[in-house]
């Protein structure tokens, strides 16, 4: 994994750990499997304690004013904080943070924690007349996986169509009014 620095995500790391544990389980040696699972637990506790200390130091250092926000806005750091149960923001705030980073603005149309379904509604059309569709849904799923893994699925709704505004104004100076030519003076 040393060759993948900068590209490792919580999802890929978790998948790799699961694959390794499955390979060890496939060996049939129960003692090796238990030792590997214990090793993962100990490392998780160790890194979790380290992350908790970092958060505590940053939160209580007046010179680190923007550091906490920078840490919470970083996908890798945020996913580690969520994984360890250390992220100081609640689900709603983490979802908003994730959605704020999307290239197309969206409105949170509702999140159901029981099912994990997040409904999104594009704001505007992005200039092309389309609502964003599958590309928006995938981008939202990708960023939410880091900031709010409790979101199991994303549903993109059609944008709310604003009624067309008909603007009625006064006629330009000198234009005929009421169907009669303008009065002339001699």
What are the residue ranges spanned by the domains of the chain?
Answer: 8-88, 89-161
51-79: average pLDDT: 89
Reported as a pLDDT band with limits 50, 70 and 90, residue 146 is confident
Which CATH architecture describes the domain 89-161?
Answer: 2-Layer Sandwich (3.30)
Reported as a pLDDT band with limits 50, 70 and 90, residue 34 is very high
Model confidence pLDDT, tens digit, residues 82-101: 989 999 999 999 999 999 98
CA distance 91 to 68: 17
* pTM of the predicted protein model: 0.68
């Amino acid at each position: 994994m040393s060759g993948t620095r900068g590209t490792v995500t919580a999802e890929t790391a978790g998948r790799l750990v699961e694959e390794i544990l499955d390979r060890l389980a496939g060996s049939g040696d129960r003692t090796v499997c238990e030792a590997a699972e214990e090793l993962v637990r100990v490392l998780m506790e160790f890194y979790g304690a380290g992350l908790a200390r970092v958060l505590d130091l940053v939160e209580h250092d007046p010179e680190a004013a923007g550091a906490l926000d920078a840490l919470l806005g970083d996908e890798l750091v945020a996913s580690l904080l969520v994984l360890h149960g250390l992220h100081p923001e609640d689900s709603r705030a983490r979802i908003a943070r994730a959605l704020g980073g999307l290239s197309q603005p969206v409105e949170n149309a509702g999140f159901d924690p029981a099912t994990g379904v997040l409904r999104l509604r594009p704001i505007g059309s992005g200039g092309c007349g389309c609502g964003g569709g599958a590309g928006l849904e995938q981008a939202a799923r990708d960023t939410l996986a880091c900031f709010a893994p409790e979101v199991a699925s994303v549903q993109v709704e059609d944008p709310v169509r604003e009624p067309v505004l008909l603007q009625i104004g006064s006629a330009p100076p000198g234009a005929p009014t009421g169907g009669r030519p303008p009065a002339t003076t001699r």
